[in-house]
Structure 1
Amino acid sequence: MPEKPPAIALDDRDIKILSILSTEGRIAKAELARRVNLSAAPCWERLNRLEAAGVIRRYRAEIALARIAPSVTVFVMVELEHHRAESFQVFERTVARHEEIVGCWALGGGFDYLMSVVTASIDSYQRLIDQLLECNIGLKRYFTYIVTKEVKAGSPPLAALLTGRPTI
């Protein structure tokens, strides 16, 4: 089992930087520094340290798909036939090769994985599932849940997670 990287010590300013960036990834560095009450150079150093430590994994835009192309979001609960390390590895390698599978989480409990799929249509989703079944990757069964409306999607509540106190 791979070793966990050492935890990085975060202070209140680091937490504030991360909170701001998790919702406003394109904020100007000068504005970020102003909002965390630092001058530009120390803020930049903190940002570099957080990136180097792997705390900040990437920056990206959140695209309003409905404004540019038809799409369907589907959640898929997956159960594998066998529960051996090799079976999980084969499944995970296969999932990683499909760009329509935008998220996949290993679960404890009744199902083995939860996948998030974004594709052009129900037909293209079904073609993806057919490909996965044809790959012989040990899919025992799967359950499909089609998203009819996004109610909420956001960033994790960093301050509450790191301090143990809910935000009000």
Structure 2
Amino acid sequence: MKLDAIDLRILEAVQRDGRITKVALAEEVGLSPTPCWMRLRKLEKSGIVSGYHARVAVRRMAPVASVMMEVTLENHRRADFDRFERAVAAITEIIACWSVGGGVDYILKIMAADIDAYQRLVDGLLDREIGIARYFTYIVTKTVKEKTTLPLSVLLSAPDAPNS
């Protein structure tokens, strides 16, 4: 789908505020409400806008452990990757998993109630024999930067896009 500068402004606006009203969105991007709403619906139907969510500040409710984990598998056949990925997909505390190139196979982001809960999760992964050869744990001690919006204008290199 070809996007123009207005589409990018719509995407940037709904990333910042998924609850923005139709009228406010239209004003922000410089369209009247109906064409603006039609563009947003087209972006949703195409899958470019894949959903809306609320950011929850869990640490305001309870202390939690944020952990990054590197995983290297014993074997590197398609079946080995599939088995590991199925196991990871089924574990609620694993909130992100990236298959990466380089010295490790995966990087996981895990949120656990505490370090003991994280260790129980790891022990469970190892007990399941899903092909983990080794893993390294990195406890997040401070969040320096964590954005939820994508820098669309930069990523898409649109010459007439906002902020370019």
Q: How high is the TM-score relative to the length of structure 1? A: 0.91
Among 45, 49, 58, which residue is 2:42 paired with?
Answer: 49
Give 2:120's aligned residue.
Answer: 127
Work out the number of aligned pairs and report it.
161
SS in 2 for 1:25: coil
Q: CA deviation at 1:167?
A: 4.7
One-letter identity of the residue aligned with 1:22: Q
Structure 2 gap segments, 5+ residues each: none
> 1:33 aligned to 20, 26, 32, which one?
26
Distance in 2 (CA, whole Å) between partners of 1:117 and 1:13 is: 36
- TM-score normalized by the length of structure 2: 0.94
The question of 1:98 aligning with 2:87 is answered no
8 Å contact kept, 2:66–2:110: yes
| 1:164 Cα deviation from its structure 2 partner | 6.1
CA distance in 1, matches of 2:126, 2:17: 39
Residues 38, 164 of structure 1: CA spacing in aligned structure 2 closer, same or farther, 3 A cutoff?
A: closer
Alignment partner for residue 113 of structure 1, among 69, 81, 106? 106
Q: CA RMSD in A?
A: 1.5
Q: 1:104-127 CA distances to partner (integer Å, 9 max, x unpaired)?
A: 000011100000001110000011
Q: CA deviation at 1:52?
A: 0.9
Name which of 78, 81, 97 aligns with 1:88: 81
Q: Partners of 2:42 and 2:9 in 1: how far apart?
A: 15
Measured after TM superposition, the shift of residue 98 of structure 1 is: 0.6
Map Cα deviations across residues 100-156 of structure 1 (whole Å, 9 max, x no partner).
Answer: 000000001110000000111000001111111111100000000000011111122
C-alpha distance in 1, partners of 2:75/2:45? 38
Alignment of 1:16 with 2:9, yes or no, is yes
Amino acid aligned to 2:156: L
User: 5+ residue gaps in structure 1?
Assistant: 1-7
The correspondence of residues 128-143 of structure 1 with structure 2, limited to 5 A, is 128-143=121-136
